[in-house]
Amino acid sequence: MKHYSLCFLALFCCLLSMAQKNVIDEVVWIVGDEAILRSDVEKYRQEYGSQIKGNPYCVIPERLAIQKLFLHQAAIDSISVTDADVNQWVEQDINERIMTAGSKEKLEEYMKLPMPQIREEIFDQYKNELTARRMREQLTQDVKVTPAEVRRYFKDMPEDSLPLIPTQVEVQLLVRQPRIPQSEIDRIKSLLREYAERVNSGEISFANLARLYSEDPGSARQGGEMPYMGKGELDPGFANVAFGLTDTKRVSKIAQSEFGYHIIQLIDKRGDKMKCRHILKRPEVAQADIDSTLVILDSITQDILSEKIPFEDAVRYASDDKDTRNNRGILSNIKETGETTTRFEMSELSAFSPELARVVDTLKVGEISKPFTMINMKGKKVCAIARLKSRTLTHRASITEDFQVMKEVVQAKKGEEAILKWIKEKQKSTYIRINPDWRDCEFQYEGWIK
């Protein structure tokens, strides 16, 4: 009997050893009280493997570990992102995946998950990424550089190592808004009153109506929901109505903004900020009104070309766009950093308006375009003529011409130094354990193995 027991024990140990070697999932890192699983690493590798330089089984867990450090600090500092912010990225990601797969059903088949679970996984992924990014921005928000630091950094740098600046353009615009008949405005207002009555009567929820009919793509997918915002962050016409709301069950009167016409529903108020839903409707512009506006612009163009009036004066007297009218028609490029410049890379101009970018690309410096139509940043169809004020071809950066770009390079470097210092401090104060099989790596940040 003892002989059979020993044989069984040996067989059990052998099977256990084989199971451990063929384990499907395991904890590979522990950061604080958070575990990084092999499955987490594999999932990341499948998503982003082609973008990773180096050993993915070293690079990926380190990236995940750094994200966990940021998320932990974000929780301490009460830094978060709204569901509306996250959902914008989720919807864009899902739409791109569906287009790649061919259909929603094929995407579910490929990912071996139903759509609600796919959405949940992608939501969690983006929420973590956006929260970590916001924490990173918080850590570097006080990083500043002086002109002397910029000059010192680039002083002895070889010319072929200087940043390469893509072709940039400066553009002037004269914009005319086609006439919108009162009958079309009345039609839009009638629609919005109908929506409000349906919500107030309990027939349908405001969120469902927004998903069906709102013409604001950024919020419609979230049922019209917007993040908490202060009065100064909103269009004045919208803000005056929205901040007058007190009842979360009732719908506002119609508000007019530069984007169109809205009805609004209050969700919550916190101090001087409010959260609301809205439905945006824009009056449709008839082709006849577009054509008549293009004729007017053609006449203005001929006056400019015949030197009866300078382009800048024509803008001041005839343009309907207040953002450029008082700046001689010059278009401003507001960067993500908050910096404002008059120069656009062609990719930036295309993001501003694909129609405008196509027109500008055909112009010589000083040349004026034929009248054309474009969708402006407020989502309205307008008519315009453009003048190419300047074009700076691709070149190596210089302090005199490209100081702002060079400043951003130095600022980014100082920001990375600040992040490096912060990570080193967190490594010392955070419990970190790495599975012995995952330690043989050249990590970007030293200090993981203690």
Co-location of 175 and 308 in the same domain: yes
Highest mean pLDDT among 50-54, 61-65, 86-90: 61-65
Residues 297, 210 contacting (CB under 8 angstroms): no
Co-location of 225 and 364 in the same domain: no
Phi, psi of 395, deg, nearest 5? -160, 165
* Among 321, 441, 442, 340, residue whose Cα is nearest residue 382: 321
Co-location of 293 and 385 in the same domain: yes
Residues in the chain: 450
Q: Is residue 45 part of a domain?
A: no
Q: What is the pLDDT of residues 250-297, one digit of tens each?
A: 999 999 998 899 999 999 998 888 999 999 999 999 999 999 999 999
Q: Is residue 334 part of a domain?
A: yes
Per-residue pLDDT, 6:
41
9 pLDDT tier (thresholds 50, 70, 90): very low
Per-residue pLDDT, 337:
64
Domain boundary residue, one of 281, 312, 331? 281
Q: Is residue 37 part of a domain?
A: no
Q: Is residue 98 part of a domain?
A: no
Co-location of 197 and 270 in the same domain: yes
Share of the chain above pLDDT 70, in %: 94
Please state the domain count of the chain: 2
**Residues 126-150, mean pLDDT to the nearest whole number:** 92
Q: Is residue 199 part of a domain?
A: yes
CATH number of the domain residue 329 falls in: 3.10.50.40
5 pLDDT tier (thresholds 50, 70, 90): very low
Give Cβ neighbours of residue 296 (< 8 Å, ≥ 6 apart). 176
**In terms of pLDDT, which residue wins out, 208 or 47?**
208
Q: Is residue 345 part of a domain?
A: yes
Co-location of 216 and 290 in the same domain: no
Domain boundary residue, one of 396, 416, 443? 396
Per-residue pLDDT, 247:
92
Residues 266, 248 contacting (CB under 8 angstroms): yes
Q: Is residue 4 part of a domain?
A: no
Co-location of 348 and 259 in the same domain: no
Share of the chain above pLDDT 90, in %: 61
Co-location of 276 and 306 in the same domain: no
**Residues 82-103, mean pLDDT to the nearest whole number:** 80
Q: Which two tokens stand for residue 283?
A: 């009056």
Per-residue pLDDT, 439:
92
Give Cβ neighbours of residue 174 (< 8 Å, ≥ 6 apart). 297, 300, 311, 314, 315, 318, 319, 329, 384, 385, 386
Q: Is residue 235 part of a domain?
A: yes
DSSP letters, 346-358, are HHHHHHH-HHHHH
Co-location of 175 and 186 in the same domain: no
Q: Which two tokens stand for residue 101?
A: 């797969």
Residues 387, 367 contacting (CB under 8 angstroms): yes
| Domain range for 318 | 168-179+286-396
Co-location of 328 and 203 in the same domain: no
Q: 373: which strand partners?
A: 383
Co-location of 311 and 269 in the same domain: no
Co-location of 267 and 313 in the same domain: no
Domain boundary residue, one of 281, 296, 322? 281
Per-residue pLDDT, 24:
62
Q: Write down the pTM of the prediction.
A: 0.65
Residues 358, 339 contacting (CB under 8 angstroms): no
Co-location of 223 and 342 in the same domain: no
Averaged confidence pLDDT in the chain = 88
Largest CA distance in the chain: 114
